[in-house]
Amino acid sequence: MTVDETAPAAREASATIHARFARQAADRGDAVAVTARDGRLTYRELEHAANRLAHRLRTLGVGPETPVAVRMERGAGLVTALLAVLKAGGAYVPVDPASPAERQAFLLADAGAAVLLTDAADAGPRAERTVVTGPGGAALDAYPVTPPDDAGTGPANLAYVIYTSGSTGVPKGVMVEHRNVTALLTGVRDRFGFGPGDVWSMFSSAAFDVSVWEMWGALLHGGRLVVVPEDVRRSPQDLHALLHRERVTVLNQTPAAFRQLIRYEEEQAAQGAAPAQLALRLAVFAGEALPPGMLRPWIARHGDATPVLVNMYGITETTVHSTYRRMTAADLDGDGSMIGEALDGWTMRVVDADGADAATGTAGELYVGGAGVARGYLGRPALTAERFLPDPDAAAPGARRYRSGDAARRDADGDHAYLGRLDHQVKIRGYRIEPGEIENALTRHPAVRDAVVAVDEDAAGDPRLVAYWVAAAPAGPSELREHLARTLPDYMLPNVYMALDRLPLTLNGKVDRRALPAPDAVRPDLDADFAAPGTPVEKALADIWAEVLGVDRVGLDDDFFELGGHSMLATQAVAIATERLGAAVSLRMLFDRPSVRELAGALDELLAAQNDSGEHGRSTSDPHGGNA
């Protein structure tokens, strides 16, 4: 069967991202396109601002296949910059401004990005040609609001390069073309009913591929994009309030993040308060395995019809999402993470060790083919040839499929179950992590002779990274964490550090990961000697931390994050502390003052100020809120 290239859907699926957006801007000029803390933009305003910046980029030599690094804070300016790169014909390379300077410099160099867009001139490494878009930056009023010529940019040109963790310790850039993205969004529009009435949240970092789904899903379907500020991302209470206030209809979350929303609503209900009613019609889970049972409290409260709950499986190399499965109450007792069937235009094959299709119900490796398969890895032809293989099922010559490294099985009804990784790669809070990259960074510290990084569960049942290391010289967890933080982003920093005399080995001399000791529920060896909390607030904080982190005791000078804490657990600790102490504890306070002593001191000052101003709060002599 031949495809009618004149059909609207075929034209849309083969267009460029910016051409699709321009059509929306022409049709919906006065409609709000982006809402963010730094302002609101209509479709016309976004089109004009991006066009002006695109003309500026053209003067710097940006054209088809030109990588342009974008290092900007979350907001309307970031969306404008990414669209401008595409309009200039280039491919954007998102660089998280929170990542270490050394990693930023690596991404700029590896991508060959001679041009950098940034909203802060002094916030990190610079490129050969750096354009500052923030206050005091480049003046763009002299450039026309009409789009630059297309410079020959077509659907087969690069749209973006997003970096993922590498097993050799070197991040690898995945090259995705315009047609990969437009095929995805065209294929799902009718299935999910996307259109101008939808309000999408942009929860993910631009350096994480789910942002592609969130951002372009909203803008190419004529909807409104709500950019979630970084501090709101970390607060379930504030996120819930934002979803209610902005009337968000399409929410995209990792299971770990959605679990925090569930817990927030449970806490509200336990206090007799009804959470604000949300306008959600669709909640999409992606980025990590979804344990169906975690949805039980949500479905008990909201049912499974509104919002529709959808689990989607995907890989950066196959353009964000490849499968979908609607989750219902009937799935709550299911075993494993059901990821469903392939999206229109995608193919899924479960392959056995001999390269043949695995028998129905039998585990094998998942191969993904179809419209979403990316071009390959930037500057890594050998790795590209190893992972992107000829697709024998495809009719088009030269078509390829991606060897995922994920274990899966296919049931008789065509449904797929995700069974985990075949190698040691993991996903935590949506981020794909190669433990080998962390291990290589650890062993570059002179005090570390050998190291292995594994995953277990914290007290809340969420996955966490555990670093096992053999010492070559004296060192402590603080020193190792600081060493890693110079080169690795926050989400790759281990939560627990365990010193071993030697790593357990198998008979063939490999590390026996199954024999690694599980972190127990006792206070780990830390740099700080144990000092008992003394004041009521100190004791209350220590009790809260012990409860959240699942350890037996917490000392006055213990660091929350060295005890195994991470942003999700920090959110829980802050919520409990606010309730029990009657003071508005913020995440920023905990991140800035991570020891019990430091945070207690700040809270004493806060509570004293509340009492002086006549505000009602619980007495510090009764931190749990009981009657004195």
**Strand partners for 420:** 407
What are the pLDDT digits (tens) for 161-192?
Answer: 999 987 677 899 999 999 999 999 999 999 99
- Which residues, other chains included, contact 610 with Cβ-Cβ below 8 Å and sequence gap of 6+? 582, 583, 616, 617
User: Residue 333 domain-assigned?
Assistant: yes
Is residue 149 exposed (0-12), middle (13-18) or buried (19+ Cβ within 10 Å)? exposed
How do residues 222-275 score in pLDDT, each as one tens digit? 999 999 998 998 888 999 999 999 999 999 998 878 988 998 998 888 888 888
The three-state DSSP-derived secondary structure of 228-282 is CCHHHHCCHHHHHHHHHHCCCCEEEECHHHHHHHHHHHHHHHHCCCCCCCCCCCE
Same domain membership, residue 361 and residue 488: no
Q: Are 265 and 278 in contact (CB under 8 A)?
A: no
Query: Is the pLDDT at 351 greater than 70, yes or no?
Result: yes
Q: Higher-confidence residue: 57 or 527? A: 57
pTM of this structure: 0.79
Q: Are 13 and 162 contained in the same domain?
A: yes
Distance CA 344, CA 68 (A): 31
Instruction: Decide if 524 is inside a domain.
Output: no
pLDDT at residue 364, rounded to an integer:
92
The candidate with the shortest Cα–Cα distance to 493, out of 511, 474, 480, 476, is 480
Residues 272 and 398 in one domain: yes
Q: Which amino acid is at 236?
A: P
* Residue 313 scores a pLDDT above 60: yes
Indicate if 140 and 7 belong to the same structural domain. yes
CA distances from 295 to 269, 283, 418, 529, 622 (A): 16, 12, 17, 41, 35
Task: For residue 290, give both structure tokens.
Answer: 């979804």
SS3 at position 295: helix
Check whether residue 415 and residue 441 sit in a common domain: no
Checking if the pLDDT of 550 tops 50, the result is yes
CATH code of residue 497: 3.30.300.30
- Flag whether pLDDT at 130 surpasses 80: yes
The per-residue pLDDT for 309 is 98
- Residue 538: pLDDT over 80: yes
- The span from the CA of 402 to the CA of 322, in Å, is 11
Quote the CA–CA distance of 492 and 513 in Å, as a whole number. Answer: 19
Q: Is a pLDDT exceeding 60 seen at residue 522?
A: no
| Residue 376 belongs to domain spanning | 235-420
**Whether 311 contacts 327, CB under 8 Å:** yes
Query: For residue 223, is it within any domain?
Result: no
Average pLDDT for 145-156: 92
pLDDT of 96-128, one tens digit each?
998 999 999 999 999 999 999 999 877 889 999
- Please tell me whether residues 112 and 31 are part of one structural domain: yes
Q: Inter-axis angle of helices 435-443 and 477-485, to 10 degrees?
A: 110
Does 12 score more than 80 pLDDT?
no
- Report how far residue 378's alpha carbon sits from residue 373's, in angstroms, rounded to the nearest whole number: 14
Count of the separate structural domains present in the chain: 4
Residue 191 in any domain: the answer is no
* Residue 385, both tokens: 């040839």
For tokens 């699709």, the residue is 20
Average pLDDT rounded to a whole number, residues 203-220: 96
For residues 461 and 561, membership in a common domain is answered with no
Q: Cα separation of 163 and 172, whole Å?
A: 5
From 146, 179, 212, the end of a domain falls on 179
Q: 126 and 158: one domain?
A: yes
Within a domain: residue 321?
Answer: yes
Assess whether pLDDT exceeds 70 at residue 617. Answer: no
Mean pLDDT is lowest, of 412-421, 439-448, 454-463, 619-628, for 619-628
582 — pLDDT class (breaks 50, 70, 90): confident
Distance of CA 393 to the CA centre of its chain: 32
Percent of the chain residues past pLDDT 90, beyond the cut? 55
CATH of residue 574: 1.10.1200.10
| 253 lies in the same domain as 401 | yes
Q: Assess whether pLDDT exceeds 90 at residue 450.
A: no
Residue 9 pLDDT exceeds 80? no
Is residue 169 within 8 Å of residue 437, measured between CB atoms? Answer: yes
Residue range 298-314: average pLDDT?
A: 95
Mean pLDDT along residues 29-55: 97
Indicate which CATH number applies to the domain containing 310.
3.40.50.12780
The 10s digit of each residue's pLDDT in 388-436 is: 999 998 888 899 999 999 999 999 888 999 988 888 778 887 788 888 7
Q: Comparing 16-30, 143-157, 379-393, 452-466, which segment has the lowest mean pLDDT?
A: 452-466
Average pLDDT over residues 4-13: 56
Strands (DSSP E) found in 286-322: 308-311
User: Domain check: are 500 and 597 in the same one?
Assistant: no
Last residue of a domain, one of 179, 197, 212: 179
- Reported as a pLDDT band with limits 50, 70 and 90, residue 525 is low
| Weakest-pLDDT range from 217-226, 297-306, 531-540 | 531-540
Q: What percent of the chain has pLDDT over 70?
A: 91
**Is residue 219 one of the residues assigned to a domain?**
no
Specify the pLDDT at position 621. 33
In a domain, 427, yes or no: no
Band (528; pLDDT cuts 50, 70, 90): low
- pLDDT of amino acid 395: 85
Lowest mean pLDDT among 445-449, 500-504, 618-622: 618-622
- Average pLDDT of the chain, as a whole number: 88
505 φ, ψ to 5°?
-120, 150
Tell which of 179, 194, 214 closes a domain: 179
Q: How confident is the model at residue 628 (pLDDT cuts 50, 70, 90)?
A: very low
pLDDT for residue 108 = 97
Report d(CA 548, CA 542) in Å as an integer.
Answer: 10
Residues 255 and 370 in one domain: yes
606 and 504 part of one domain:
no
CA distance 342 to 320: 13
| Residue 374 maps to a domain | yes
d(CA 339, CA 427): 15
pLDDT of 341 reads: 96
